[in-house]
Homo-oligomer: A and B are copies of this chain.
């Protein structure tokens, strides 16, 4: 008998918490829910299971909602004792939820609610239920997300013209508590990711004035500093609210600063790893598919938690019918389908794909229905062709969108085949699209793809060319050509966002240009750390000074100082320096191709699925690798050695 837990129709939990999450952003005293459509959970569900009782058993089906239980054809109310004799039984439970979502709990000798139950939404196929071991008790409430809390005291207090400035030492997220306040006097609390923001009540994004009580627990917010103004200073402390995710990775090398950068990147990822992957904890505090795509990648090289990846995919996916792109952005719909496949490739979790294939397919069909006469992704009413904030030629169908769509079709082919369906039509459509893109967008003489082939501008920017390398859209020969003529060509406009910079560094590393990434980690990420950053920023412009760093989107403190896409070095160092990557589904086989690049020596760990991990240490003369799981192959300079689970292998040069 497994451990009992609350169960629900698969996906309802994520949709419900997505609504709650997306209702928590605030700016300048104003709630800011997102501008895209959200999906609600299904109001009713039918749970079922066949079970065997070795002896007489009595159980209750607990639910906060109304519903009934059918056991062996007889109906009972929920929340009352039901007895069965020894033998085989069938149970089904119908629940209709007026708020929250349908969920049930049973914990008896011969029957417990767990992931062996199935449910449908009163129609359609019954899928394995959603269930989480974090809700094991009858009084647990799945509408409350299971965050952990740690009390945090400020590390310093300073008097300022705007009140007492409390510094909590590093960026964090959670409720600020005020105690011993004077109920007769207002208390103004201004939050800041920087001291400047916390002491600038007019321009700070998040602030609150409370009155009437002696004690306050304020809403959960992002901050390192809080500035509290009151006639009588209250006692101030905070709680750190987080999802306990255990790191199974590390990285250090002879350049000590890199270890510090890695730690701060890891902390940044943790702060943004909550119900789902957030873009930033102060702003937007939303779940964006493009941002999440990079978090999936980086998190697999940090704590490798399938649950947060699944939750994020399900929340972003919502429910059919699709009438709008994910986050309103065409490319973000594609990243979502690609990330579902990459999730499968990394974990081998076939059941997840089987459960959500219909929704992924519906999203794909929505995209198919919006192609233009040429079969290209175009901008339909309501669409946002994003790719990146950079200047590029969006005067016609954009090349980067088409390459992403080609990748998306291959992902659909694979996803279909995972479900035992025919992937060939997707593959054929992808190949047709590939040939067309090459014909229309590739400029052999310039060694790159133009943004647009219909405007006459013939502009080459980096984005499509980065995708072409990253997704193996072109042969290695052409990829090398692209590196020379585009990526290493300073006359081609530089990437300005850390978001796309990450893709560019991945592409360079993939092409063996590891040093470029290593240098960038120290100059760009290291630049922020040198300025005292305790988490990685949304954007860093080295030429800026002081509070200039904090402005963005026309707001003085608009730049998020804790942005998930800053976690890229976790991926780059794990994937390309330590060199660990799967070579078949679920890491059944995987490669370890360590590459020191500029470092004299390095050592670190990369997690594998199912709790496994690979340790690597390398210097100029030798390399030692230990994997706790079988299937690994060490590859160094064209030589390969099989890795035996649990047995360290040392190779000397």
Q: Per-residue CB proximity of A393-406 to B under 8 Å, as 1/0? A: 00000000000000
Residues from chain B with Cβ under 8 Å of A44 in the complex:
33-34, 37-38
A23 CB contacts on chain B under 8 angstroms:
66, 96, 98
Q: Are B37 and A121 neighbours in the complex by a CB distance under 8 Å?
A: yes
Residues 288-325 of A, flagged 1 when their CB comes within 8 A of B and 0 if not, give: 00000000000000000000000000000000110110
- Residues A122 and B35 in contact, CB atoms below 8 Å apart: yes
A410 interfacial by beta-carbon distance below 8 Å: no
Report whether A95 and B33 are in contact in the complex, using a CB–CB cutoff of 8 Å. yes
From known contacts A30-B68, A78-B31, infer whether A37 and B321 are also in contact, taking CB-CB under 8 Å. no
Q: Is the pair A22, B94 in contact by a Cβ cutoff of 8 Å?
A: no
A29 neighbours in B (Cβ, 8 Å): 77
Note all chain B residues with C-beta closer than 8 A to A122: 34-38, 324
Q: Which single residue of chain B is at the shortest CB-CB distance from A122?
A: B37
Asked whether A321 and B324 contact (CB < 8 A) given A31-B68, A68-B31, the answer is no
In the assembled complex, A599 has its CB within 8 A of some CB on chain B = no
- Give chain B residues whose Cβ lies under 8 Å from the Cβ of A94: 33, 35
Q: Mark A15-45, 1 if CB is under 8 A from B, else 0.
A: 0000110110000111111111111111110
**Complex alpha-carbon distance, A99 and B101, angstroms:** 11
Q: How far is the CA of A91 from the CA of B29 in the complex (A)?
A: 19
Question: With a CB–CB cut-off of 8 A, which chain B residues contact A76?
Answer: 30
B43 near A96: Cβ-Cβ < 8 Å: no
Question: How far is A124 from B324 in the complex, measured between Cα atoms in Å?
Answer: 8
Q: Check B37 against A42 for contact (C-beta < 8 Å).
A: yes
| Contact call B96/A33, Cβ cutoff below 8 A | yes
Min Cβ gap A118→B in Å is: 16
If A43-B38, A323-B124 touch, does A68 touch B32 (CB 8 Å cutoff)? yes
Minimum Cβ distance to chain B for residue A283 (Å): 14
What residues of chain B lie closer than 8 Å to A321, measured between beta carbons? Answer: 320-321, 362
Does A123 lie at the interface of the complex (its beta carbon under 8 Å from any beta carbon of B)?
yes
Query: CB < 8 Å: which of B20, B32, B36 contacts A123?
Result: B36
How would residues 80 to 101 of chain A score, 1 for a CB under 8 Å from any chain B CB and 0 otherwise?
0000000000000011101110
Taking residues whose C-beta sits less than 8 angstroms from the other chain, chain A's interface range is: 35 or more
Q: Please, which residues of chain B bring their CB within 8 A of the CB of A568?
A: none
A75 adjacent to chain B (CB < 8 Å): yes
Complex CA–CA separation, A35 to B75 (angstroms): 13
Q: How long is the Cα–Cα vector from A94 to B31 in the complex, in angstroms?
A: 10
Does A382 lie at the interface of the complex (its beta carbon under 8 Å from any beta carbon of B)?
Answer: yes
Q: Across the interface, do A77 and B37 meet the contact criterion of CB distance under 8 Å?
A: no
The closest CB in chain B to the CB of A25 belongs to B66
Q: Are A19 and B38 in contact (CB under 8 A)?
A: no
Task: Give chain B residues whose Cβ lies under 8 Å from the Cβ of A77.
Answer: 29-31
Across the interface, A33 reaches (CB within 8 A) one of B40, B42, B66, B99, namely: B66
Residues 39-67 of A, flagged 1 when their CB comes within 8 A of B and 0 if not, give 11111100000000000000000000011
Q: In this complex, what residue of B is CB-closest to A38? A: B43
Which residues of chain B are within 8 angstroms of A99 by Cβ–Cβ distance? 99-100
Kindly list chain B residues whose C-beta atoms are within 8 Å of the C-beta of A320: 321
Nearest B residue to A125, CB-CB: B323
Q: How far is the CA of A19 from the CA of B96 in the complex (A)?
A: 8
Chain A 98-115 near chain B by CB (<8 Å), digits 1 or 0: 111000000000000000
Residues of B within 8 A of A19 (CB): 43, 96, 98
Partner of A37, one of B32, B35, B123, B362: B123
Residues of A369-384 contacting chain B, CB below 8 A: 382
Rounded to whole Å, the gap between the CB of A20 and the closest CB of chain B is: 6
The chain B residue sitting closest to A362, CB to CB, is: B321
Q: How far is the CA of A22 from the CA of B95 in the complex (A)?
A: 11
Q: How far is A99 from B98 in the complex, measured between Cα atoms in Å?
A: 8
The listed residue (B22, B30, B36, B42) touching A40 by CB distance below 8 A is: B42
Tell me the bound Cα distance from A597 to B362 in angstroms: 59
| Per-residue B-contact encoding for A120-158, CB less than 8 Å = 1, 0 else | 011110000000000000000000000000000000000
Contact of A66 among B31, B37, B362 (CB under 8 A): B31
Closest B-chain residue to A46, C-beta based?
B35
Closest to A24 in B: B66
What 0/1 readout, one digit per residue, does chain A (319-346) give for beta carbons within 8 Å of chain B?
Answer: 0110110001000000000000000000
- Bound-state Cα–Cα, A339 to B38, Å: 31
8 A-B pairs with C-beta separation under 8 A? A19-B96, A30-B68, A30-B75, A31-B66, A35-B122, A36-B122, A38-B43, A40-B43
Q: With contacts A20-B98, A123-B328 known, what are 20 further pairs, Cβ within 8 A?
A: A22-B96, A23-B66, A23-B96, A29-B77, A30-B76, A31-B66, A31-B67, A33-B67, A33-B94, A33-B96, A34-B96, A34-B122, A36-B122, A36-B123, A37-B42, A37-B122, A38-B122, A40-B40, A99-B99, A99-B100
Q: Which 6 A-B pairs have the closest CB atoms?
A: A33-B96, A123-B324, A31-B66, A40-B40, A99-B99, A30-B77
